[in-house]
Amino acid sequence: MKKIFVLTGEPSGDKLASTIISKLKSQNTDIEYLSVGGTHLRKLGIKSIFNLKDITYLGFTSVLLNIFKIRAKINKTVDEIIEFNPDILFTVDSPDFTLRVAERVKKLNKKIKTVHYVAPQVWVWRKNRVKKIKLFIDHILLLFSFEKKYFEKENIKNTFVGHPLIEKNENVKIVLDNVISKEKKIISVFPGSRSSETKVLLPILLDFIKLMNNKKYDYKYFFHATDENKEFIINDIKKTDLTNVDVVSDEIIKSQVLSNSIFAVSKSGTVSLQISNLNIPSIIIYKLSFINFMIFKLLVNVKFANIINIINDKEIIPELLQKECNAEEICRTVIYFLKNPELIQKQLDVCNKTLEGIRSNTSSSDEAATVLNNYLTI
């Protein structure tokens, strides 16, 4: 029986990995799996060697403060992979964790094929990483076609598979009567998948909703949670007097809630692509500590945080970062958009055009699963 070790470093990577492994399971049933994963991989019956929360940290200072814990987890992960002796080490996103592990595994056992999904954003920062990556990654799966030039320059085997969150969406909007009220319009809120993100953004978002309520804007707010942070969000909401707020974590329900939303307030990240793909207007928020932000500014090569804005080299989706990431500014920006439908349409038009330019013509998960399956038959 062939073996694959699936290595993720945060909930979003766990979700991405699960879409591919689900497809691979339908193509090839004769595979044994082990992972560092979360709830999505667990639902596929794949055991994780430890809890994903143990390695999910936000910002440079948080990583430094937990460096010994992280090193211990890297050591344990490498040991477990070598003992499991997989045919493929399938690493997904979180390059500062997953690629460190992959590098060490490759040194210890060159027979293990290493396939990485979600290329490090070398077009944003640390371009020199490409030269190092080619020493221990056999194949890299790319979300965006413009990434190919960075890896082909170093003769790294790669496949543009596309982003699963921006695949053609043929689903019609379905109203879930037991979840979605027809009485109020919905605003979707995304506080982040990492607990460290949620702890920072949740209080700001709850204050934003209070301000909207005080201004007599009568909307229903849905927090899009993960299985890992759902209880934390619910408990914080219970401490308020808010009655027009709910929390959803089921992927199908989240998708339908978002599809039925009139607006979204989202933390910066890949979820913003899913929002744009569903033709929902949005704004982006994020907040790091001052030290982390200054380090980030020194290292990055781009002006924007959102991929849509980066590609267009201008702010199509408003980014409220750092000092601007506060309840008052979020409230002001959301109201401004809702009062000016022509601005919403302009944003959606540019987003749709941008997505068409980076969307793959095939299924991302099908393409990625095929690459993995091919390595199993070599």
Q: What are 68-77's pLDDT values in tens digits?
A: 777 889 999 9
CA gyration radius, the chain: 21
List the domains of the chain with CATH numbers: 2-166+360-376 (3.40.50.2000), 185-358 (3.40.50.2000)
Q: Is the pLDDT of residue 241 over 60?
A: yes
Rounded CA separation 282/105 (Å) = 41
Rounded CA separation 76/98 (Å) = 13
Res 107: pLDDT: 97
- Mean pLDDT rounded to a whole number for the chain: 89
Average pLDDT over residues 175-200: 80
Average pLDDT over residues 38-42: 94
Average pLDDT over residues 299-307: 75
Rounded CA separation 357/5 (Å) = 33
Res 294: pLDDT: 57
Residue 74 phi/psi, 5-degree rounding, is: -60, -45
Q: Which helix (H) or strand (E) holds 209?
A: helix 195-214
Q: Which helix (H) or strand (E) holds 113?
A: strand 113-117
- Tokens 């540019």 belong to 350
Q: Is the pLDDT of residue 301 over 90?
A: no
Average pLDDT over residues 130-139: 93
Q: Is 61 helix (H, G, I), strand (E, B) or coil?
A: helix
Band of residue 291 on the pLDDT scale cut at 50, 70, 90: low
Whether 233 contacts 198, CB under 8 Å: yes
Residue 152 Cα distances to 158, 368, 369, angstroms:
8, 18, 21
Q: Is 340 helix (H, G, I), strand (E, B) or coil?
A: coil
Average pLDDT over residues 178-202: 85
Average pLDDT over residues 155-168: 87
Whether 97 contacts 55, CB under 8 Å: yes
Q: What are the tens digits of pLDDT across the range 94-107?
A: 898 999 999 999 99
- Tokens 């070598």 belong to 82
Cα within 13 Å of Cα(240), Cβ side: 21
Amino acid identity, position 253: I
In DSSP terms, 142 is beta-bridged to 160
Q: Is the pLDDT of residue 65 over 80?
A: no
Q: What are the tens digits of pLDDT across the range 2-32?
A: 999 999 998 889 999 999 999 999 999 999 9
Res 321: pLDDT: 92
Whether 27 contacts 214, CB under 8 Å: no
In eight-state DSSP terms, residue 125 is: B
Res 324: pLDDT: 95
Q: Is 255 helix (H, G, I), strand (E, B) or coil?
A: helix
pLDDT higher at 167 or 41: 41
Rounded CA separation 248/191 (Å) = 12
Question: Which positions ≥6 away from 8 have C-beta within 8 Å?
Answer: 14, 16, 17, 35, 36, 37, 38, 41, 52, 91, 92, 93, 94, 98
Res 172: pLDDT: 44
Percent of the chain with pLDDT over 90: 67
pLDDT higher at 126 or 91: 91
Rounded CA separation 157/306 (Å) = 27
Q: Is the pLDDT of residue 289 over 90?
A: no
Whether 184 contacts 217, CB under 8 Å: no
